[in-house]
């Protein structure tokens, strides 16, 4: 069995570690590229959302490298992600690919069915061994997400921000060449040490921006056109409302009550949106409120074209902008998004943040408040 899975930011690092820890052969899809997008767009329904198209591209590229089994998480509720696995199976079948797709759907009253699928995917019935590797995989995920957070803090303050990019790029090239949890953690430690040695301007003023929106678009750098890097080079420290670590903690390790952080978002959203609208629409609203209350300079919402839950959230964000006086910008991405126009919008947004801060400083100087 040669296992693969779709890309979603740093998730591939932890998935590779977990599955290799259990003795499986893993085919990591090539890094998402223009070719991935073209393949996915060619064989996907025209109006389906961008993550689906990237998934299809990932699968085809992995199958061409020898993968015969695909792992994907399932979903429920008013979001098309719940239908991904069904449609993807049909598309790959029509293309003549003989692959097995194992879906980790929510238990829905049948926990043993999920357990059976996990055993099949991990190629072992030893529950203790699976749990041990799951915990070790979670540890890898946390460490690689921490690495991204450090890079996002360093980049806007670094004397040469591109040095940060080179360290992260080198890490992602090297981590594909090693095997198992221990070797992957060694690579993370090495990259972290290099990041911590990057020289910074200690008193440099940076702007803080919170990223909210659809989870895949926030996490996958190819889909969001490397927004963390672009903002970092414009002097902005980025904080993402959703990360793979937060998702795993909320859905897998906090039981039915969920994580404290995600529940806080739901509570914060209540004055504007009380009901679940699918995907992470409610969390987008709650995260925007929290970022505003924490004094962030600005908020950016990311979503793929036609994402219904985020369209609902988008309609509410102007009220949060008005109530808290915080600039909020929405960026919608699809396969037609042009990088130059995207960058221009980011530059204009950062210019707005700088002007606002300058005006506040002048006001403080004149009136002392």
pLDDT band at 251 (very low <50, low <70, confident <90, very high): confident
User: How is 192-246 classified by DSSP, letter by letter?
Assistant: HHHHHTS-B-TT---EEEEEEE-HHHHH-TTTTTSHHHHHHHTTEEEEES--HHH
What integer is the mean pLDDT of 285-297?
97
Q: Kindly report the average pLDDT of the chain as a whole number.
A: 93
Domain contains 24: yes
pLDDT score for 352: 97
pLDDT score for 122: 84
| Paired residues of 8 in beta bridges | 10
Is 70 exceeded by the pLDDT of residue 311?
yes
Q: How many domains does the chain have?
A: 3
What integer is the mean pLDDT of 89-101?
94
Pair 107, 33 in one domain = yes
CB atoms within 10 A of CB 86: 11
Is 80 exceeded by the pLDDT of residue 256?
no
pTM: 0.92
Looking only at the bridges linking them, the beta strands covering 69-73 and 2-4 are: parallel
Pair 273, 324 in one domain = yes
Pair 258, 300 in one domain = yes
Domain contains 265: yes
What integer is the mean pLDDT of 218-246?
96
pLDDT score for 109: 64
Pair 177, 219 in one domain = no
**Segment 148-185, tens digit of pLDDT:** 999 999 999 999 999 999 999 999 999 999 999 999 99
pLDDT score for 192: 97
Out of 177, 203, 229, a domain closes at 203
What integer is the mean pLDDT of 289-301?
98
Pair 152, 68 in one domain = no
Pair 152, 78 in one domain = no
Pair 234, 261 in one domain = yes
Pair 185, 325 in one domain = no
What integer is the mean pLDDT of 199-227?
95
What integer is the mean pLDDT of 114-135?
87
**CATH no. for residue 104?**
3.40.50
Q: Which domain holds residue 284?
A: 206-367
Is 90 exceeded by the pLDDT of residue 270?
yes
What integer is the mean pLDDT of 28-49?
95
Give the helix/strand (H/E) hosting 25: strand 25-26
Domain contains 131: no
Pair 92, 19 in one domain = yes
Is 70 exceeded by the pLDDT of residue 207?
yes
Pair 215, 199 in one domain = no
pLDDT score for 77: 67
**CATH no. for residue 237?**
3.40.50.11900
Domain contains 181: yes
Is 90 exceeded by the pLDDT of residue 295?
yes
Pair 162, 260 in one domain = no
Contact between residue 260 and residue 230 where contact means Cβ atoms under 8 Å apart: no
**Segment 54-68, tens digit of pLDDT:** 999 999 999 999 999
What integer is the mean pLDDT of 278-306?
95
| Paired residues of 2 in beta bridges | 25
pLDDT score for 120: 85
């Amino acid at each position: 069995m040669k296992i693969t899975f779709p890309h979603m930011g740093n998730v591939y690092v932890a998935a590779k570690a977990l599955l290799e820890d259990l003795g499986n052969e893993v085919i990591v899809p090539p890094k998402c590229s223009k070719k991935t997008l073209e393949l996915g767009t060619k064989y996907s329904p025209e109006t389906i959302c961008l993550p689906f198209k990237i998934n299809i591209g990932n699968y085809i590229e992995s199958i061409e490298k020898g993968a015969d089994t695909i792992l994907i998480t399932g979903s429920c509720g008013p979001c098309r992600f719940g239908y991904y696995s069904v449609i993807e199976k049909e598309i790959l079948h029509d293309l003549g690919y003989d692959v097995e797709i194992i879906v980790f759907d929510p238990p829905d009253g049948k926990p043993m069915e999920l357990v059976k699928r996990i055993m099949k995917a991990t190629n072992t019935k030893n529950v203790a061994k699976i749990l041990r590797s799951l915990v070790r995989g979670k540890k890898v995920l946390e460490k690689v997400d921490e690495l991204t957070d450090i890079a996002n803090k360093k980049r806007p303050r670094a004397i040469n921000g591109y040095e940060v990019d080179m360290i992260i790029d080198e890490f992602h090239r090297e981590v594909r060449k090693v095997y198992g949890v221990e070797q992957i953690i060694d690579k993370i430690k090495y990259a972290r040490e290099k990041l911590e040695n990057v020289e910074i301007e200690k008193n440099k003023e940076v702007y803080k921006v919170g990223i909210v929106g659809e989870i895949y678009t926030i996490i996958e750098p190819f889909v969001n056109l490397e927004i963390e890097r672009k903002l970092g080079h414009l002097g902005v420290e980025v904080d993402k409302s959703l990360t793979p670590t937060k998702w795993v903690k909320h859905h897998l390790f906090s039981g039915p009550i969920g994580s404290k952080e995600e529940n806080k978002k739901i509570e914060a959203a209540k004055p504007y949106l009380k009901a679940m609208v699918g995907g992470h629409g409610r969390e987008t609203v709650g995260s925007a409120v929290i970022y505003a209350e924490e004094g962030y300079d600005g908020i950016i919402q990311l979503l793929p074209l036609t994402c219904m839950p985020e369209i609902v959230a988008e309609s509410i964000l102007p009220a949060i902008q008005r109530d808290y006086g915080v600039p909020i910008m929405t960026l919608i991405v699809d396969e037609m998004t042009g990088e130059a126009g995207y960058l221009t919008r980011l530059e204009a947004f950062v210019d707005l943040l700088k002007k606002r801060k300058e005006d506040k400083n002048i006001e403080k100087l004149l009136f002392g408040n």
